[in-house]
Structure 1
Amino acid sequence: MLFLSIHPKHVQAIVEGRKTVELRKRKPSIEPGSMVVIYATTPKCEVVAVAAVGAIQVGKPSEIWRECGELAAVSARVFDDYFYGAEKAVGIHLSNIGVFKTPVSLPELRRRWDGFQPPQQYRYLNPSQQKFITTREIKRGGCLTS
């Protein structure tokens, strides 16, 4: 399970369904169908949702912009600034967003996961961390599920 650190304004766009592609410079070692954990960085500092990986696209930044720019919910300038000098870009397609009924704060993560430090980009969760995340109560389409 992949743990993604994402700026809160982009997390909000994901939760609202306006952003369905998360952009990265490096391709994580995950396959379509894998689950990702969505962590909102400073000032929120909390895990707010999970999602399934629908697909992963890798290509030149110009190709990823052409195919995913609108789905990434960022301007061309923001995209170009982020990928300046990069030879490749990665688009992680997100689906089945599940928003936690109660977000998991950074202090709670640190209490449960000794020495936890949120990653700059992403990290992989171990089995016990995955279990903690997958047993959280989430909302899908206005309904609560466990």
Structure 2
Amino acid sequence: MRAMLSIKPEFVEQIVLGRKKFEFRKVLFRQRVTTIVVYATKPYGKVVGEFNVSNILEDIPQSIWNQTSEYAGISKDFFDKYYSESDKAVAIEIGKFIPYSEPLTLKEFDQNIRSAPQSFIYLQ
């Protein structure tokens, strides 16, 4: 199964540079997802590439930070604010990122996608 994630452009850049090897979420997928398609949010607003899911970690936020901080690609302060009201954190380990030769609009990528996913959407 593939899913599309909306990720801020500055974090996409960190993924591309190999500095961010974990994508953080508050909710775990209900289905087994093996590939993530990356939508860089506005102002860029394009589907830029994809990566394989190497692993998914799920635990309390402090434990997830301890396991991922070296390649989190975000500050501890940002992490703490994101999870401030959560007892659970999810870290998706990013496998090899494969950039698309040409970034695509959502419509170019899939005519059925009408708007950017708030968090993620499953893809056919």
TM norm structure 1: 0.79
Question: Which has the larger helix fraction?
Answer: 1
State which of 87, 97, 120 in structure 1 corresponds to 2:118. 120
* Match of residue 12 from structure 1: 13
Higher normalized contact order (CA 8 Å, seq sep 6+, divided by chain length): 2
Which amino acid in the other structure matches residue 49 of structure 1? G
Structure 1 contact 31–55 (Cα < 8 Å) conserved: no
Which amino acid in the other structure matches residue 92 of structure 2? I
Structure 2 contact 107–113 (Cα < 8 Å) conserved: no
* Match of residue 37 from structure 1: 37
Which amino acid in the other structure matches residue 7 of structure 1? K
The whole-number CA distance in structure 2 between the counterparts of 1:22 and 1:58 is 12
Q: Please give the residue correspondences for 1:29-108 in structure 2 after superposition, counting only pairs within 5 Å.
A: 29-31=30-32, 34-108=34-108
The higher radius of gyration belongs to: 1
Cα RMSD, aligned residues only = 1.5
Which amino acid in the other structure matches residue 16 of structure 1? L
Report sequence identity in percent: 34
Which amino acid in the other structure matches residue 2 of structure 1? A
Structure 1 contact 31–53 (Cα < 8 Å) conserved: no
1:21 CA drift (Å): 0.3
In structure 2, the CA distance between the partners of 1:115 and 1:26, relative to structure 1 (3 Å rule), is closer
User: Aligned to 2:65, what secondary structure does the other structure show?
Assistant: helix
Deviating above 6 A after TM superposition, structure 1's stretches of 4 or more consecutive aligned residues are none
In structure 2, the CA distance between the partners of 1:47 and 1:115, relative to structure 1 (3 Å rule), is closer
* Match of residue 131 from structure 1: none
TM norm structure 2: 0.92
In structure 2, the CA distance between the partners of 1:66 and 1:3, relative to structure 1 (3 Å rule), is same
Structure 2 contact 6–116 (Cα < 8 Å) conserved: yes
> What are structure 1's unaligned runs of at least 5 residues?
127-146
1:14 CA drift (Å): 0.5
1:120 CA drift (Å): 1.0
The whole-number CA distance in structure 1 between the counterparts of 2:21 and 2:30 is 19
In structure 2, the CA distance between the partners of 1:114 and 1:123, relative to structure 1 (3 Å rule), is closer
1:108 CA drift (Å): 2.7
